[in-house]
Structure 1
Amino acid sequence: MPDADRQDATLEWVERVATFCVEEWGLTPITGRILGLLMICDPPERSAGQIADAIHASRASLTSNMRLLTTIGLIRKVRVPGDRTAYYRIEDDAWEKVIQRKIAGLGAFGDIAEEGLALIDDANPARTERIRAAQHALTWLRDLAARHPRDATT
């Protein structure tokens, strides 16, 4: 594949990652583009300027999105000996962290559903069943992940 075609295909793939991140996780498109680029680039590290140029983002919007991704542990800043530029790379366990957070969030809602069950009486079986269905499904997932932490993320 010629270099220009490969670059176009790579940018299209990065955009697909961004679209997924927007639709599934509510992230901004730039955040998704950063993740996509850092997943596919070689070498795996890029400076903020290189990332901004590659995804056509302003430095200001890039900075806030990079800070978010660093804070939540999906990317990290790295230094190259003898180079004053800060580089960023995706964490090796980034996707495991995403899955763990998602499972924890769903499990937390299962706990809220349990609290809801305690608030109602059994006089209205339909209402009880709606809450019980949420509680059962979400706490099952949480408990499954707790029993098999590595299996739930690989």
Structure 2
Amino acid sequence: MDTGWDLEFADDAGRCFARQYGLPPMTGRVIGWLLVCDPAAQTIAQIAESLQASRTGVTAAARQLEDWSWLRRSRTAGERVDRVRLHPEVWSRLLDNQSEYAALGVLARRGLATAGGESRVRLAELAAFAEFLAEKMPGLVAEWQTRLDAVHAGHRR
């Protein structure tokens, strides 16, 4: 018997991602659904039906997530429709984004080259933050991979 827990979870995810990250609620709902749906790969029509949402809204959310490399599209031989699923390394990729940290550092240093007064302190903080992330994230990614390997090993038993 379907208790609706999966739809409730997707709705909770929509609110969480909207509140915490400023994402449109539908984008968060799609993330939430793809975390709990079975099978893991779903068509846009399946997601829309499950979320009781428009295909247009789900398509827009999927495009946004695909642009960010959070989703992976696939098509089974002989089918005419794509299926989407969360990228298997989505959480690792959020941590391991060296180019983003480097871009923040470049931006801050460019500002420091011309800024004066109190703005220099704010820019120096940003530069230090970007440098800190660039230094620490590779270690966090390695720690995460170790933990992820343990999670996978625990589910293979």
- Whether TM-score is above 0.5 comes out as yes
> How far apart, CA to CA, are the structure 2 residues paired with 1:84 and 1:115?
49
> How far apart, CA to CA, are the structure 2 residues paired with 1:106 and 1:152?
19
Residue 113 of structure 2 corresponds to 118
Task: Calculate percent identity across the aligned residue pairs.
Answer: 25
> How far apart, CA to CA, are the structure 2 residues paired with 1:65 and 1:99?
22
**Is 1:40 aligned with 2:36?**
yes
Deviation at 1:45, TM superposition (A): 1.4
Deviation at 1:107, TM superposition (A): 4.2
Residue 75 of structure 1 corresponds to 71
Partner SS, residue 46 of structure 1: coil
Backbone CA RMSD of aligned residues:
2.5
| Stretches of 4+ aligned residues off by more than 6 angstroms | none
Q: Note the residue ranges of structure 1 that are not aligned, 5 or more in a row.
A: none
- Please list the CA deviations of residues 94-135 of structure 1 after superposition, one character each: whole Å capped at 9, or x if unmatched: 12223334x6435422322222222246xx5x5433332222
Partner SS, residue 77 of structure 1: strand
Residue 148 of structure 2 corresponds to none
**Aligned residue-pair number:** 145
Change (3 A) 1:87 1:153: same
Contact 1:21 1:29 in 2 (8 A): yes
> How far apart, CA to CA, are the structure 2 residues paired with 1:45 and 1:62?
14
Residue 139 of structure 2 corresponds to 148
Residue 108 of structure 1 corresponds to 103
What TM-score comes out, normalization by structure 2 length? Answer: 0.75
The letter for the 2-side match of 1:144 is K
Q: Note the residue ranges of structure 2 that are not aligned, 5 or more in a row.
A: 146-157
Deviation at 1:38, TM superposition (A): 0.8
Contact 2:41 2:83 in 1 (8 A): yes
Query: Which is greater in Rg?
Result: 1
Contact 2:95 2:141 in 1 (8 A): no
Deviation at 1:153, TM superposition (A): 5.2
Residue 63 of structure 1 corresponds to 59
Deviation at 1:20, TM superposition (A): 2.1
Structure 1 residues 119-138: aligned runs within 5 Å: 119-120=114-115, 124=117, 126-138=118-130
What TM-score comes out, normalization by structure 1 length? Answer: 0.76
> How far apart, CA to CA, are the structure 1 residues paired with 2:100 and 2:13?
22
Deviation at 1:4, TM superposition (A): 3.6
